[in-house]
Amino acid sequence: MTDFDVVIVGAGAVGLACGYALAKRGKSVAVLERESVIGSGISARNSEVIHAGLHYPTGSLKARLCVAGRHALYAFLKSHNVAHQRCGKLIVATEDSEIPALERLKQQAEINGVEGIRWLTGADARALEPQLNAVMALESPESGIFDSHGYMFALQGEIEAHGGVVVLASPFEGAAPSTEGFTVRVGGPTPASISTSQLVIAAGLGAQTCAHAIEGFPPARIPQLHYGKGNYFALAGVKAPFARLIYPPPIPGALGTHYRRDLGGIARFGPDLQFVDHEDYVVDPARAASFYQTVRRFWPALPDGALQPDYAGIRPKLHGPGEHQGDFVIDSETLPGLVALFGIESPGLTSSMAIGDEVAAHLSA
Ligand SMILES: Cc1cc2nc3c(=O)[nH]c(=O)nc-3n(C[C@H](O)[C@H](O)[C@H](O)COP(=O)(O)OP(=O)(O)OC[C@H]3O[C@@H](n4cnc5c(N)ncnc54)[C@H](O)[C@@H]3O)c2cc1C
């Protein structure tokens, strides 16, 4: 007998979604979180966009889990009264040379099974969003925004309602395989050793460190972590110009600096992509210059001085500058009874419930 059927490391959106998926299948679950609150990692520093799933390559986990996760997420948010808006998104070409990129995106969206994508002329787009500069646009009606913290609290509630526990201030310090599964070392104010049949690493930026602390996990199977910082600027002193999400065509390694009006009505631009060598969440005001340039392509009326440094998040990337952007890694093969998640960058929030189902399927196989 072990203390738990499954121990999950990390109480971000993904670890909590894994906990919910496993608890509702009747497993006794403990989610270990090193911080004193849930959801203070990557899940607290992002765009809170529900992605439709247009961008991701054919056959990738990102493509499949984003579309499945979006359906599951909207249903969960509705049934749990978590604030969200299916506000839709426009991906805009501001000059003719950008239209081929949108054509490729539309084809990819169709392959990925994204519903409702349609072309808009510049005039159609301006009829929806009068301040927009666009020669053509793609409309994605299934894209939206949501309250990610409300979502994570609802997941925690579900885990606890199914008899599971979310244990705060409890850093995972390491694990060793045992005859019944794993013995897990937990640090913090009351260090402990607990036994579990199965183990899930959903530690975001800490995933590689956790994997290195598992006896028998070959270092060669741990993908290298790169920090892909994304900076945001908020719009100050001006009314939010658009109701929908506005995106430029994608850039290598990211979706491009976009516009969103959050559920509280605040307009923000970002994230950009800046590779850094350590966790650093300070937004350099000097980056505003490139934001003005990018944003004015689709919103020429952006006034001088209206962008204020806001916040930053860090993507747990598995590729460095100039390298091919990889997929999510869901490693269920290195050790029996272990699933380790690496590189859960965007669209990880949108995909989280589908990742939970995928992890549960691996652990019951
Ligand atoms: C700038 C940016 C914008 C993004 N925008 C979007 C978006 O609009 N839509 C979307 O779908 N996705 C988006 N994403 C991606 C999304 O935010 C992430 O994929 C998702 O939040 C990852 O969740 P997670 O649970 O894996 O990681 P986290 O939220 O970081 O959770 C991991 C948890 O593990 C804990 N932990 C780490 N080490 C240990 C340890 N040793 N012991 C115990 N606990 C530990 C951490 O404290 C943390 O709470 C964005 C990401 C970034 C950076």
Q: Residue 271 CA: which ligand 1 atom is closest? A: 1
Nearest to 364 by CA among 16, 5, 91, 77: 5
Mean confidence (pLDDT) of the chain = 96
Cβ of 145 below 6 Å from ligand 1? no
**Ligand 1 center to residue 19 CA distance, Å?**
15
Average pLDDT over residues 12-37: 98
Per-residue HEC secondary structure of 134-182 comes to CCEEEEECCCEEECHHHHHHHHHHHHHHCCCEEECCCCEEEEEECCCCE
DSSP symbol at 322: T
Task: For residues 38-48, give the mean pLDDT.
Answer: 98
Which of 346, 351, 355, 358 for a ligand 1 pocket mutation test, highest count of atoms within 8 Å of Cβ? 346
Instruction: Note the residue count of the chain.
Output: 365
* Per-residue pLDDT at 287 exceeds 90: yes
For 185-198, what is each residue's pLDDT tens digit? 999 998 999 999 99
Q: Does pLDDT of 257 surpass 90?
A: no
Q: Atom of ligand 1 at shortest distance to CA of 230?
A: 1
Pocket of ligand 1 contains residue 89 by CB under 6 Å: no
C-alpha distances (whole Å) from 187 to each of 35, 36, 78 are 11, 13, 37
Indicate whether 16 pLDDT > 70: yes
Q: Is the CB of 171 under 6 A from ligand 1?
A: yes
With a 6 A CB cut-off, is 359 part of the ligand 1 pocket? no
Could you give the dihedral angle defined by the CA atoms of residues 300, 302, 308 and 311, in that order, rounded to the nearest 10 degrees? -50
Say if ligand 1 is within 6 A of residue 46 CB: yes
Q: Mean pLDDT across the stretch 65-90?
A: 98
pLDDT category, 200, cuts 50, 70, 90? very high
42 lines ligand 1 (CB under 6 A): yes
Ligand 1 centroid vs 166 CA: distance in angstroms?
Answer: 16
Residue bearing the CA closest to ligand 1, atom 18: 348
> What's CA 204's distance to the chain center, in Å?
10
pLDDT score, position 62? 98
pLDDT at 142: 98
Mean pLDDT of 134-155: 98
pLDDT at 365: 79
* CA neighbor of 94 nearest in space, from 128, 132, 129: 132
Phi–psi pair at 12, nearest 5 degrees: -95, -170
Residue 150's pLDDT band (boundaries 50, 70, 90)? very high
Cα(232)–Cα(229) distance, integer angstroms: 10
Give me the mean pLDDT over the 23-31 stretch.
98
Contact 169, 188 (CB under 8 A): yes
Cβ neighbors of 339 (< 8 A, separation 6 or more) are: 198, 199, 200, 201, 330, 331, 332, 359, 362, 363
Name the residue of 9, 43, 45, 185 to mutate for ligand 1: max ligand atoms within 8 A of Cβ.
43
Mutate to test the pocket of ligand 1, among 20, 32, 45, 47 (most ligand atoms within 8 A of CB): 47
Over residues 214-229, the mean pLDDT reads 97
Q: What pLDDT is attached to residue 160? A: 98
Residue 184 half-sphere exposure, CB side, CA atoms within 13 Å?
Answer: 28
Q: Are 29 and 6 in contact (CB under 8 A)?
A: yes
Nearest CA to ligand 1 atom 31: 12
pLDDT at 34 over 80: yes
Instruction: Report the pLDDT value the prediction gives residue 256, as an integer from 0 to 100.
Output: 76
pLDDT confidence of residue 39:
98
Do the Cβ atoms of 90 and 141 come closer than 8 Å?
A: no
| Spatial CA neighbour of 200 closest among 216, 188, 213, 211 | 211
Q: Retrieve residue 291's tokens.
A: 């934001």
Distance 99 CA to ligand 1 centre (A): 33
The pLDDT score that the predictor gives to residue 254 is 67
CA of 314 to the centre of ligand 1 (A): 9
Position 324 scores a pLDDT of: 87
Residue 253 has pLDDT above 70, yes or no: no
Interval 170-189 mean pLDDT: 97
Taken in order 240, 241, 244, 249, the sign of the CA dihedral is negative
Q: Which atom of ligand 1 is nearest to the CA of 210?
A: 41
Nearest to 49 by CA among 355, 356, 349, 353: 349
Q: Is the pLDDT of residue 322 over 90?
A: no
Answer whether the bond into residue 303 is a cis peptide, omega within 30°. no
In this prediction, residues 300-315 reach a mean pLDDT of 98
Query: Which two three-digit tokens encode residue 120?
Result: 């808009």
Cβ–Cβ under 8 Å, residues 182 and 47: no
- Closest residue by CA, ligand 1 atom 14: 346
Q: With a 6 A CB cut-off, is 272 part of the ligand 1 pocket?
A: no
Lowest mean pLDDT among 68-72, 198-202, 247-251: 247-251
CA–centroid distance, 185 to ligand 1, in Å, is 22
pLDDT over 70 (residue 252): no
**Nearest atom (ligand 1) to Cα of 32:** 43
